[in-house]
């Protein structure tokens, strides 16, 4: 079983949207998926109440100590992928979830303020020796600023820790949430669905092999390239040359 944790202290950056979208895309690709919600706001529970489909099942967890126990049970029960949606801010539940992540995804709108605001979360992820990648979300779909900022990111040597593709700002994501669907179910031939499918493929390639045994002790999970690449890579306002949103 592999575990993805979607986390950043910055509110509204797209944690829940990406958790739902990726969970459904992964299920469509053959994974047996469980969503865990540690956010009392309950966005995923709301989504499931609109869904009318049992899978992927959303399971709220409110106590940090429950996370490891629940992951062990899900692994024994045959679940192959868990996606954990966390709340904004930093709290014990998010820290506990990060401890069990095979890969942390840090959504950020593609602007300096959002990336810098994610620094406390990234620090926790790195202290926990987890792999992570930024997912740039809510990117405008046209205009020269997108390519300018993408070039700037590459020049700033953090391209290795940015998931591809960027996820564009589109109504499909909001309408899918309201309909209780993954965006790949809501408009399967749409561009948002394409992006989320490609993002799942990118993520899947960076997870441990599906048949690797589940390591309930986070220290058992080796950190590879992504962690190494981030040793000095966390951007600050001083190290990023681009100065505004895409």
Min dist. Cβ of residue 13 to Mg ion (A): 9
16 touches Mg ion by CB under 5 A: yes
Between the alpha carbon of residue 53 and those of residues 48, 144, 145, 182, 223, the distances in Å are 8, 41, 40, 11, 36
Maximum alpha-carbon separation in the chain: 49
Quick one: which of 1, 7, 15, 181 contacts ligand ATP (CB under 6 A)?
15
Minimum distance, C-beta of residue 37 to Mg ion, in the bound complex (Å): 9
Q: Is 137 in the site for ligand ATP (CB under 6 A)?
A: yes
Residue 57 CA to its chain's centroid (Å): 17
Q: Which does 40 bind (CB under 5 to 8 A by kind): ligand ATP, Mg ion, none?
A: none
CB nearer to ligand ATP: give 170 or 206.
Answer: 170
Judging by beta carbons within 10 Å of its beta carbon (0-12, 13-18, 19+), is residue 93 exposed, middle or buried?
buried
Is 138 a binding residue for ligand ATP by CB under 6 A? The answer is: yes
Could you say which of 15, 51, 70, 130 contacts Mg ion (CB under 5 A)?
15
Residue 88 in the binding site for ligand ATP (CB under 6 A): yes
88 binds, among ligand ATP, Mg ion, none (CB under 5 to 8 A by kind): ligand ATP
Closest approach, Cβ 218 to Mg ion, in A, equals: 23
What is the pattern of x (binds Mg ion, CB under 5 A) and - over residues 26-65? Answer: -----------------x----------------------
Question: Does 43 help bind ligand ATP (rule: CB under 6 A)?
Answer: yes
Q: Which of 34, 70, 126, 170 is in the footprint of ligand ATP by CB under 6 A?
A: 170
DSSP 209: P
Question: 103 or 136, CB closer to ligand ATP?
Answer: 136
> With binding defined as CB under 6 A, does residue 24 bind ligand ATP?
no
Helix, strand or coil, per DSSP, at residue 95? helix
What angle (nearest 5°) sits at the alpha carbon of residue 57, between those of residues 14 and 22? Answer: 35
Which is nearer to Mg ion, 86 or 230 (by Cβ)? 86
| b/e map 165-179, b = 16+ CB within 10 Å | bbbbbbebbeebbee
Please name the residue that has the structure tokens 């390519």: 147
Closest approach, Cβ 159 to Mg ion, in A, equals 27
Instruction: Return the axis-axis angle of helices 43-51 and 171-179, rounded to nearest 10°.
Output: 70
Q: How far apart, in whole angstroms, are the C-alpha atoms of residue 227 and residue 246?
A: 26
Query: Which residue is associated with the tokens 């020796």?
Result: 129
Question: Which of these, 223, 7, 227, lies nearest to 135 by C-alpha position?
Answer: 7
- Answer yes or no whether residue 11 interacts with ligand ATP by CB under 6 A: yes
Question: What residues line the site for ligand ATP (CB under 6 A)?
Answer: 11-17, 39, 41, 43, 87-88, 137-138, 167, 169-170, 173-174, 177
């Amino acid at each position: 079983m592999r575990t993805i944790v979607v986390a950043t202290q910055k509110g509204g950056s797209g944690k829940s949207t990406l958790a739902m979208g990726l969970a459904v895309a992964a299920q469509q690709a053959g994974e047996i998926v469980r969503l865990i919600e540690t956010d009392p706001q309950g966005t995923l529970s709301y989504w499931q109440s609109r869904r009318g489909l049992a899978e992927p099942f959303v399971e709220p967890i409110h106590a940090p100590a429950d996370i490891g126990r629940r992951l062990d049970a899900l692994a024994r029960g045959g679940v192959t992928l868990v996606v954990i949606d966390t709340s904004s801010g930093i709290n014990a539940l998010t820290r506990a979830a990060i401890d069990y992540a095979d890969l942390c995804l840090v959504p950020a709108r593609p602007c300096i303020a959002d990336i810098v605001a994610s620094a406390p979360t990234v620090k926790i992820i790195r202290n926990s020796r987890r792999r992570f990648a930024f997912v740039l979300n809510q990117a405008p779909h046209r205009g020269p600023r997108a390519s300018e900022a993408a070039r700037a990111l590459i020049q700033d040597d953090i391209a290795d820790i940015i998931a591809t593709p960027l996820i564009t700002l589109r109504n499909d994501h909001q309408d899918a949430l309201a309909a209780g669907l993954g965006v790949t179910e809501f408009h399967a031939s749409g561009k948002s669905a394409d992006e989320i499918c490609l993002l799942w493929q990118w993520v899947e390639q960076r997870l441990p092999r599906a048949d690797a045994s589940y390591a309930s002790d986070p220290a058992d999970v080796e950190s590879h390239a992504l962690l190494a690449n981030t040793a000095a890579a966390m951007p600050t306002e001083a190290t990023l040359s681009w100065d505004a949103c895409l």
